[in-house]
Amino acid sequence: MSKIISKNPTARHNYSIEETITAGIVLSGTEIKSIRNGKVNLKDTYANIKNGEVYIYGMHIAPYEQGNIFNKDPLRDRKLLLRKREINRLVGLIQQKGYSLVPISLFFDRSFVKIELGIGKGKKLYDKRQDIAKKDAEMKIKRALKNNI
């Protein structure tokens, strides 16, 4: 039973996601309250492995209004919670040519905030154009079917 909080709008557009993995995030109390209010943005975020730990960079969590001195920096780096075996596997995948860790969505799993990471390769411009043309064709087909019924 999970509730999606935020999605990364450019993740599936800029990357072809081959595999996904779910991780927990280390957050403070005021950050959790701000996330519950929906004040989080995943656009322009990325994840990387540093010193055997996975971090997410560029995730903006707005300061909580009643948080005063307990608020943290909205763009600070946040540690992700993964098992050592998973991190070692990710290191092996990322060292391959062109692979990167891309945050896809942020969601609640019971009362915990989790993030879905995608392991993907960057798309070329012509791949993006093909995807846009395919979506456009599907929309035209749906409109035509709807008008005929």
Q: Where are the domains of the chain?
A: 2-123
DSSP 36-104: HTT-EE-TT-EEEEETTEEEEES-EEPPPTT-GGGPPPTT--EEEE--HHHHHHHHHHHTSTTEEEEEE
The fourth-level CATH superfamily of domain 2-123 is Small protein B (2.40.280.10)
Percentage of the chain with pLDDT > 90?
A: 16
Note if the pTM is more than 0.85.
Answer: no
Cα gap 60→112, rounded to integer Å:
18
At 49-85, the pLDDT tens digits run 888 899 999 888 888 777 677 677 777 888 999 999 9
Are 46 and 15 in contact by the 8 Å Cβ rule? The answer is no
